[in-house]
């Protein structure tokens, strides 16, 4: 057979048996009578008893096997399914087609088998002897291998898509979780951190600490807020709480934590250089509240707050910090509110 004849036999689509789905399982792997007779006669007969392993995956070989009788188990490993093949089928053909080739599967006998082993020389002989028949056999084998590859690629692509979908839904779950976590630490009305968020923040204080500064706590409580609610209505009261929250936010540095402890009570945990800086912050908040104006409420609405503060000693617990600042706040309330006091 000339090279041109061989190429035509291998490449011509007309010469190919047209498999229904063009996928590997539909392609005939069994040899025709003529192919079997030719290949079996050219090979060396070998009897194999179970559970003998005939070839091992990964080892290099140059022989192909044609099964006359018995069954052979092909194990591809990974996630590829094993395959049981029987009479008139063959395996190891790639070693003949591409020369010294690492086996892609292990093959072992599951029952007594008779095989015909073809090495490179034997194959060259049959190729010369019956080139058209061998070309037909090779063409079918190549088509089968290509279809197997295509199926493998399709499976991998599908698995990849499944993985991407799983990843996507994991990412969404993660986002939802982060959002839910943020929501349970946030006060709905003002958007500030709530008491739960403050406690979470306290657990991480050491990571957040600026070594040049110390912690200070300011407690901010609206004056006569009940009366504001009673005179101007709850909605206006809500607006007042939101406005005070904004002022606290504006008075905070990025490392500080403004929060609403509940009702009309707020806290601002700050990092300051000294008591003077903490006092300045308290005065700023007090003045900002006094300056608040509400265009949609009667002009008579005036908002004032009482601010009590204290520097926080590292060795003390939160309860001590809170009680010190509360003591200062009590002092302001006792003096009629609308002012600030920071413990010396
Ligand atoms: N509008 C509104 N009012 C609230 C909210 N939470 C609590 N309150 C009201 O806030 C008021 C707080 O009243 P008090 O604790 O007596 O405080 P106060 O009237 O400011 O009195 P002093 O602190 O002594 O000046 C109560 O009337 C609560 O009903 C809220 O989310 N929105």
The ipTM value here is 0.97
What fold characterizes domain 3-155?
A: Jelly Rolls (2.60.120)
How many angstroms separate the alpha carbon of residue 244 from the centre of ligand 1? 13
CA distances from 328 to 247, 308, 323, 338 (A): 20, 4, 9, 13
The model's confidence at residue 320, banded by pLDDT at 50, 70 and 90, is very high
pLDDT number for residue 15: 35
Residue with the smallest CA separation from ligand 1 atom 31 is 263
| Residues contacting 213, CB < 8 A, separation 6+ | 271, 272, 273
238 Cβ inside 6 Å of ligand 1: yes
pLDDT number for residue 28: 61
What average pLDDT does range 9-34 have in this prediction?
51
How many angstroms separate the alpha carbon of residue 225 from the centre of ligand 1? 5
CA distances from 283 to 167, 312, 322 (A): 51, 18, 19
Least trusted range by pLDDT, from 1-15, 80-94, 132-146, 204-218: 1-15
pLDDT number for residue 148: 83
Q: Candidates 225, 238, 301: which one to mutate for ligand 1, based on the most atoms within 8 Å of Cβ?
A: 225
Cβ-based neighbour number of residue 202 at 10 Å: 15
How many whole angstroms separate alpha carbon 141 and alpha carbon 155?
21
Dihedral of alpha carbons 228, 231, 237, 243, sign: negative
How many angstroms separate the alpha carbon of residue 219 from the centre of ligand 1? 15
Structure token digits, residue 317: 């617990």
How many whole angstroms separate alpha carbon 190 and alpha carbon 314?
30
pLDDT in tens, 157-207: 998 999 999 999 999 999 999 999 889 999 999 999 999 999 999 998 888
How many angstroms separate the alpha carbon of residue 223 from the centre of ligand 1? 9
- Which among 278, 202, 196, 293 is positioned nearest to 244, based on CA atoms? 293
The pTM of the full predicted model, rounded to 2 decimals, is: 0.62
Residue 265 has pLDDT above 60, yes or no: yes
Provide, rounded to the nearest whole percent, the portion of the chain with pLDDT above 70: 92
Residue whose structure tokens are 């197997």? 148
pLDDT number for residue 260: 98
pLDDT number for residue 218: 98
Residue with the smallest CA separation from ligand 1 atom 13 is 226
pLDDT number for residue 78: 82
Give start and end residues of each alpha helix (H) in 62-204.
Answer: 93-97, 120-129, 131-184, 195-203
224 Cβ inside 6 Å of ligand 1: yes
Residue 298 has pLDDT above 90, yes or no: no
Mean pLDDT comparison of 58-62, 203-207, 245-249, highest-scoring range: 245-249
pLDDT number for residue 223: 97
* Whether 195 contacts 258, CB under 8 Å: no
pLDDT in tens, 76-135: 988 788 999 999 999 999 888 887 789 999 999 999 999 999 999 999 999 999 999 999
Residue ranges per structural domain of the chain: 3-155, 195-342
Shortest-distance atom of ligand 1 to CA 226: 19
Residue whose structure tokens are 């934590």? 257
Q: Give the bridge partners for 55, in sequence order.
A: 107
Domain spanning 195-342, CATH class: alpha beta
228 Cβ inside 6 Å of ligand 1: no
- Which among 183, 194, 222, 184 is positioned nearest to 329, based on CA atoms? 222
Structure token digits, residue 179: 């959002």
pLDDT number for residue 100: 78
pLDDT number for residue 2: 44
Least trusted range by pLDDT, from 5-14, 142-151, 163-172, 239-248: 5-14
Phi and psi for 280 in degrees, rounded to 5? -60, -40
How many angstroms separate the alpha carbon of residue 271 from the centre of ligand 1? 28
Residue with the smallest CA separation from ligand 1 atom 7 is 263
How many whole angstroms separate alpha carbon 90 and alpha carbon 29?
8
Structure token digits, residue 212: 């040049």
The model's confidence at residue 315, banded by pLDDT at 50, 70 and 90, is confident
pLDDT number for residue 328: 97
How many whole angstroms separate alpha carbon 190 and alpha carbon 193?
9
89 Cβ inside 6 Å of ligand 1: no
């Amino acid at each position: 057979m000339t090279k041109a004849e061989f190429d035509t036999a291998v490449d011509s689509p007309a010469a190919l048996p047209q498999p229904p789905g063009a996928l590997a399982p539909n392609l005939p792997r069994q040899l025709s009578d003529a192919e079997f007779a030719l290949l079996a006669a050219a090979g060396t007969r070998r009897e194999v008893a179970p559970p003998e392993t005939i070839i091992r995956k990964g080892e290099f070989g140059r022989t192909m096997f044609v099964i006359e009788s018995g069954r052979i188990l092909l194990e591809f490993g990974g996630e590829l399914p094993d395959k049981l093949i029987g009479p008139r089928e063959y395996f190891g053909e790639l070693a003949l087609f591409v020369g010294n080739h690492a086996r892609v599967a292990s093959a072992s006998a599951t029952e007594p088998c008779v095989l015909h082993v073809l090495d490179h020389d034997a194959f060259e002989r049959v190729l010369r002897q019956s080139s058209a028949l061998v070309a037909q056999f090779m063409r079918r084998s190549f088509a089968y291998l290509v279809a197997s590859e295509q199926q493998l690629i399709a499976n991998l692509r599908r698995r990849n898509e499944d993985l991407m979908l799983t990843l996507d839904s994991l990412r969404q779950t993660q986002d939802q979780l982060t959002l839910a976590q943020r929501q349970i630490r946030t006060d709905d009305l003002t958007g500030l951190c709530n008491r739960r968020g403050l406690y979470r923040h306290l657990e991480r204080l050491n990571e957040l600490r600026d070594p040049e500064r110390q912690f200070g706590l300011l407690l901010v409580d609206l004056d006569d807020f009940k009366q504001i609610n009673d005179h101007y209505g709850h909605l206006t009261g809500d607006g007042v709480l939101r406005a005070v929250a904004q002022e606290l936010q504006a008075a905070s540095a990025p490392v500080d934590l403004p929060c609403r402890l509940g009702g009309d009570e707020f806290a601002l945990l700050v990092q300051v250089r000294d008591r003077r800086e903490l006092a300045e912050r308290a005065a700023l908040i007090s003045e900002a509240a006094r300056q608040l104006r509400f265009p949609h409420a009667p002009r008579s609405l005036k908002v004032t707050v009482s601010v009590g503060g204290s520097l926080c000693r590292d060795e003390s617990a939160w309860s001590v910090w809170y009680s010190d600042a509360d003591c200062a706040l009590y002092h302001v309330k006792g003096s009629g509110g609308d002012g600030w006091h920071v413990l010396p």
